[in-house]
Chain A
């Protein structure tokens, strides 16, 4: 728990920095794995025939699922599965991490068979104080998801992470 924490110029310089693009895949197996992880029983997320009858091209990505980052040992995070190369990094020295919030806007249907090009950038930094966690750094990231086949922006996500 930090008593004092300040955003440095070095941290502020990361705002607006974009990550290199990375691929997220949506496959029938990955949709089933996610739907199973959430606890869905709706067959539309498991059975391709049922999904087609419901009007989808294949199994649709359940809400909040935006594909699985392609995992390559040494180039991906062992913990969060996302890429580690060239990512904007805030060197804050805080060890605790909690998720703060998530907002996703959807523009197009996302289905198994799609590959998404994902680019993330630091949108903002903020310091807040809580009674239980002390001084906290709140980072806001904005990530865009573009269908590689069609070139269309399919989703945009803003997320807050809390470091303490």
Chain B
């Protein structure tokens, strides 16, 4: 059931999206996005060795936050703005749990809008990728 502007209220949580991408998923993301930085698939790459592991593309987490919002909207609205910051690295085969909450809803220029706080959490509950979305219904 698609969400509607009328049905949401500030403080509502978006249904969570739990991920645990392995190396194969990161390879698929590399192919889909065109980002072949070896830091995301090659354990022998100097930067991977220095960090001690390959790491998940920040943009994979950004895209996953987009998926969180897309799943919630169910094509009943559109994203006007989507942003995040890559505060912490995530390694493959670890939980990356996408979460979101409705911060504000308002009308402006005839548009029904909502602001969402979105983020990814690791196994420890640290928000490694905090962000924000503005959606229009």
Count of chain B residues with a beta carbon within 8 Å of a chain A beta carbon: 42
Stretch at the interface among A3-11, A34-42, A115-123, A145-153: A34-42
The chain A residues found within 8 Å of chain B, CB to CB, are: 30, 33-40, 42, 44, 54-56, 62-65, 68-69, 71, 78-82, 95-106, 109
Residue contacts A-B, CB under 8 angstroms, 30 given: A35-B32, A36-B28, A37-B29, A37-B31, A38-B29, A38-B64, A39-B21, A39-B64, A40-B67, A42-B70, A63-B65, A63-B69, A64-B59, A64-B82, A65-B63, A68-B33, A69-B34, A79-B35, A79-B37, A80-B36, A95-B46, A97-B47, A98-B86, A99-B57, A99-B59, A101-B84, A103-B82, A106-B78, A106-B80, A106-B81
Which of A79, A102, A106 sits near B84, CB closer than 8 Å?
A: A102
A69, A97, A98: most-surrounded residue (chain B CB, <10 A): A98
Give the docked Cα–Cα distance between A100 and B21 (Å).
Answer: 21
B25, B30, B31, B59: most-surrounded residue (chain A CB, <10 A): B59
Residues of B within 8 A of A81 (CB): 34-36
Residues of B within 8 A of A36 (CB): 28, 32
Are A63 and B83 in contact (CB-based, < 8 A)? no
Identify the 8 closest CB pairs spanning chains A and B, nearest first: A63-B66, A37-B32, A81-B34, A103-B83, A37-B29, A99-B58, A101-B85, A34-B32
Give the docked Cα–Cα distance between A63 and B71 (Å).
Answer: 11
Are A99 and B86 in contact (CB-based, < 8 A)? yes
Which of B37, B57, B63, B84 sits near A62, CB closer than 8 Å?
A: B63
Give the docked Cα–Cα distance between A132 and B47 (Å).
Answer: 14
The chain B residues found within 8 Å of chain A, CB to CB, are: 19, 21, 25, 28-39, 46-47, 50, 57-60, 62-67, 69-71, 75, 78-86, 89
Min Cβ gap A149→B in Å is: 20
Residues of A within 8 A of B83 (CB): 101-104
Residues of A within 8 A of B58 (CB): 98-99, 102
